[in-house]
Amino acid sequence: MIKIWSMKAKEAAAEKKKPKTSAAQIRVQKDLAELEIPETIKLDFPDPADILNFNVIITPDEGFYKNGVFRFTFAINNNYPHEPPKVHCTQKIYHPNIDLSGNICLNILREDWKPVLSLHSVLVGLQYLFLEPNADDPLNKDAADDLRHSRRNFEANVNKSLSGGSFNGVNYDNVLA
């Protein structure tokens, strides 16, 4: 009888040591299970046990940024889905909606976030920024002005930046595949 009680006590102690699954983790698991993404988007989990922090790689197959490989970090806090994920570009790129520090101007990552949105919405939004950069809501005003006034000059600057070129005093990361 004493053996049974000691076994139950050990089981209870082991159960207490297990980290509880947060509501954010449950929602992220659901989002990931339902995720249907194109081949141009890849997810990477450096720590498979931590689904709240992961990397995303986007390789556009058309548009100005074709042949680039763009890397992002996603950090999801425990208030998800009530707060959007924190998304950051890890490379220095020439883009109207991504500044040189890697901050991203995507409305659903800020004021237009709603709990009904999912990781799929964010991934599609990021991919869309590479297909259709938005000069009307810029973080990089120089790139936005370039896009607004001369698409040809903008395209030349994007191509130069993709291969790690320098202009206007900025050295860009080589992001070509």
Nearest to 69 by CA among 55, 78, 59: 59
Q: Is 89 assigned a catalytic role? A: no
Q: Where are the beta strands (DSSP E) in the chain?
A: 41-44, 53-58, 70-75, 86-89, 166-167, 170-171
Order of strands across the sheet with 41-44? Answer: 41-44, 53-58, 70-75, 86-89
| Active-site residue, selected from the candidate residues 56, 58, 104, 105 | 105
Residue 5 burial (C-beta neighbours within 10 Å; 0-12, 13-18, 19+) = exposed
Q: How far apart are CA 87 and CA 59, in angstroms?
A: 17
Residue 89, strand partner residues: 72
Catalytic residues: 105
